[in-house]
Amino acid sequence: MSRLVKLLGAIVTGVIILALGSYFWYQNAITIPNGASKNLEVFSVEKGQGVDTIAEKLVQDGFVANKLALQIYLKLNSDQANSIQAGSFELSNSMSIVQIVEKLQKATDLDYVKLTIPEGMRYDEIAEKAATVFAGKEEAKFVKSEFIAIAQAPDNTTFNSKVTAFLKKYKPAGKNLEGFLYPETYFFKPDTTAQAVIEKLISTLEEKVITANVITAAHLEKYSFYEYLTIASIIERETFTLEEKPLIADIYFRRLEQGVQGVKLLQADATLTYIVKDWKADVFPLKTNKSPYNTYLYPGLPPTPISNPGLAAIKASVNPEANDYWYYIHDNDGVVHYAKTLAEHNENSRKYL
């Protein structure tokens, strides 16, 4: 009997310890801020968005570190969860979960600029889009020419310490910012400068790729961050679906490492259209262009990325899907057709183009 009592006592003790541990974990998770930055940034809740979607977005935007703790807090405080309003909120990652949920109860009519950057834009296209959305704002300080000048020669600009450290580590000296301006939907105050916009885009790239361990130290043993970014930028412009990206990434890496008929040419049409800054340009007359971006003439990677890729393209660049193809084309409907040999590729071109 005493053995049974001891066993039950041990079980009860274990349960109490586990319960206390869970309680203290939960209390810490909801009261300790995600970070130390007190910089306020706009967080938007769209009408009809569910609690889980809002929680996911808070984590993605870096305001909350522990999604599970946030979800538990919202379930235990359903009155607050049901009172989250649609609208705009100024948050910082120095706020705790408790403070953030409290803040989400009171939407404010903030005057902000919404900038949505699609995947695969060049920096000059981003500058044009940003100039359009900031236009007309009375307090506007965004200058398109300033954005382009910084993007062209970033080494001449003194960025904030975080961005400076990131670029020093991952951007080769003398290179522009093509590839580093992360495509996403952003909310800016109307008086945000071109440099501040650029800093936000770069810091978001770091959060999405480095902080999130999409590109790890193990990946960097084979290729540099800049090389992965360059490959991803080409993948972004050369593909139409998620499924294609890792397959075409593998084709490019094999072309870089093994070459086709002994020549390590990528032969990517998008690098040709980048030369003339026109994605819809006819590529055939451009194949004789002497630009170093011509991957039909010059082996290896182009001098810089050719666009600003999204997360799916970056993930494909570090996780290519092995296959036996060496060629591909897209027909007029955007459907991809792969080939293992040049003869097959020529036949696909004849049939589908």
Same domain (yes/no): 247, 264: yes
Same domain (yes/no): 77, 158: no
What pLDDT score does 168 carry? 97
Is residue 352 situated within a structural domain? no
Give the least confident one: 2-6, 75-79, 232-236, 310-314: 2-6
Is residue 15 situated within a structural domain? no
What pLDDT score does 173 carry? 97
Is residue 12 situated within a structural domain? no
State the Rg of the chain over Cα: 25
Domain boundary among 42, 76, 103: 103
Domain boundary among 151, 177, 211: 211
Domain boundary among 103, 122, 139: 103
Range of the domain at 38: 26-103
Q: Which residue has the higher pLDDT, 78 or 129?
A: 129
Same domain (yes/no): 223, 291: yes
Find out whether 233 and 302 touch, Cβ atoms under 8 Å.
no
Find out whether 55 and 74 touch, Cβ atoms under 8 Å.
yes
**What's the domain count of the chain?**
3
Find out whether 345 and 339 touch, Cβ atoms under 8 Å.
yes
CA distance 353 to 339: 14
Is residue 334 situated within a structural domain? no
Q: Which residue has the higher pLDDT, 35 or 144?
A: 144
Is residue 317 situated within a structural domain? yes
Is residue 21 situated within a structural domain? no
pLDDT digits (tens, 9 = 90+) for 274-303: 999 999 999 999 999 999 999 999 999 999
Same domain (yes/no): 149, 63: no
CA distance 105 to 92: 16
Is residue 339 situated within a structural domain? no
Same domain (yes/no): 98, 125: no
What pLDDT score does 123 carry? 98
